[in-house]
Every structure is written in structure tokens, then in C-alpha cells.
Structure 1
């Protein structure tokens, strides 16, 4: 699994280098009150990264967080059921017999 991750990391790195080197034309991005001057390769890679982060955030907000909340509620119900099913322990003084 570690080798697979390393190969995947290297493939993504090489892909980013290829995109950056093949798209070296300077561009200007106008963001209302701010002008960003960069190359088209950097803009492509930054937009892909931003899209992945926004998509991951949407998945977290839409699926993962509600699933964790549902899991917490289910764990509370199970803990309450286990506590109700367990016999109540009475407080007794310790026996003088030590079991030997």
C-alpha cells in the first residue's frame, strides 16, 4: 500500500510539472478589486486544487458530519440500553473470606 501511495504521489507530481511546463503563457486574472498575474499552468493547477477542496468540504458538510451525528445518537441509545439491562449493583461490605 505504501508503494501504491508513492507511485500515485509521483504520478500527480509529474502531471503537475507537465501541466505547468506546457502552459507557461502569462495571464492576468481579475478578481474585482485585485489583479493576479500568473502563468496559465499555475492557474490550472490552483483551480483544480481549489475545486478538490470545495468538493471535499461539500461532501464533509453534506454526508460525513450528519453520519457522525447519527452514529453518536445510535451509540447513546445503545449505551442507555446496556445501562438499563445491567443489574444494579448493591453496595455490600467486602467479605472477610479472601477466597483461599
Structure 2
């Protein structure tokens, strides 16, 4: 499993280097109060990273947190002590 992660990390790194090297034109990103001068490759990679982080945050907020809360409530309900088992009586009723 560690080898697969390493290969995936290497593939992403090589992809980022290829995107950065093929898109080396300077761009200026103007925001409300300041502007950012960078290359188009860095702007592409930064926007992909920002989109992945925002998408992951939306999944966590919309799906993982409610499911975790349901699981916590279910665990609390299951933790209620059951009736203690009664010891068998020496008299069997005959």
C-alpha cells in the first residue's frame, strides 16, 4: 500500500511540474484591494488545490459531520445498560 501511495504522489508531482513548465506565461490576478503577479501554471495548480479543498470541506460539512453525529447518538443509545442477567434459581419449579 505504501508503494501505491508513493507512485500516486510521484505522478501528481510530475503532473504539477509538467503543468508548471508548459504554462510559464506571466499573469496578473486583480482582486479588490491588491493584485497578484504569477505564472499561469502556478495559478492553475493553486486554483485546482483550492477547488479540491473547498469541495472536501463541503463533503465533510454536509455528509461526514451529520453521519458522525448519528453514529454518536446510536452509540449512546446502545450504551444504556441492559437488564442484569438473573442468577439461576436452585429450585427448578417441580
TM-score by length of structure 1 reads: 0.82
2:32 matched to which residue of 1? 32
Q: CA deviation at 1:2?
A: 0.7
The 1-side partners of 2:82 and 2:10 are apart by 55
2:43 matched to which residue of 1? 43
The 2-side partners of 1:86 and 1:24 are apart by 73
Q: CA deviation at 1:84?
A: 3.2
Match runs of 1:39-78 below 5 Å? 39-78=39-78
Q: CA deviation at 1:85?
A: 2.4
Choose which of 65, 74, 86 in structure 1 pairs with 2:84: 86
1:18 matched to which residue of 2? 18
Q: CA deviation at 1:86?
A: 3.1
TM-score by length of structure 2 reads: 0.88
Q: Which runs of 5+ in 2 are unaligned?
A: 86-94
Moved runs in structure 1, 4+ residues, more than 4 A? none
2:91 matched to which residue of 1? none
RMSD between aligned residues? 1.3
The 2-side partners of 1:60 and 1:48 are apart by 18
